[in-house]
Amino acid sequence: MGQDFQILNAPRPPSWRDPQRMTRLPGGLAVPRGILVAMLSLCCAAACLIPPRSGFREAISLQVARGEVVAWLIIASTAAATVSSIPHMLRVGRYFSAVFLVLVVVGLCSLVRTDPTSAHHLNTFTYMAGGLLLWIWCVWLGSRSVMLGICALASTSGAFACLASLGIGERAMILSTLVALNYMLWADQSEAE
């Protein structure tokens, strides 16, 4: 007795169930990396919209130095989304983006650990903002995507807004970068299918 039919070329599992794109969380829970980055980005966006005690104009690093939970949530969710995106960037060959994301994590750690009124802190923030603008414009030039162009313009506007209101400009740069990161993950995933 033989089989009635045999599947010669089994279809690939949907991308959201592909084991290579899964991230293992504590407790053995496996979550697709794109969904994890999206959830962390939404968490950061919600934290950016919660008004701090001192108002939106104050720098996030001053709020972190005072120990405000919302400011720590912004930094932690940004760092976690960034770290979660690094393996994907390496796998699809976006090495420049992967190196940039590693530098973002190092810069966030440096910003959290330094005195917010020191020159070292200001230099770190300036280098991170300049590197962010360089990265997002280079990614846009490589893809010419309308969405990445909008994110690049929003991030540049946030950098200029930092001159007038540091807290609002920082939030605009963080959110536009996370939108660009999520868009890149989504675009790479849809190209693979």
**Domain ranges in the chain?**
23-188
The predicted pLDDT at position 19 comes to 59
User: Which residues, at least 6 apart from 176, have a Cβ–Cβ distance to it below 8 Å?
Assistant: 136, 151, 152, 154, 155, 158
Place of tokens 């846009």: 140
How does pLDDT run across 125-179, given as a tens digit for each residue?
999 999 999 999 999 998 889 999 999 999 999 999 998 888 999 999 999 999 9
- Specify the higher pLDDT residue, 38 or 23: 38
Cβ atoms of 65 and 177 closer than 8 Å: no
Structure tokens at 33: 């990396």
User: Which residues, at least 6 apart from 100, have a Cβ–Cβ distance to it below 8 Å?
Assistant: 131, 135
Alpha carbon distance 164, 166 (integer Å):
6
> Model's pTM, two decimal places?
0.82
Least confident window among 9-13, 176-180, 182-186: 9-13
User: Which residues, at least 6 apart from 166, have a Cβ–Cβ distance to it below 8 Å?
Assistant: 57, 58, 59
Structure tokens at 171: 């939030």
Alpha carbon distance 151, 177 (integer Å):
7
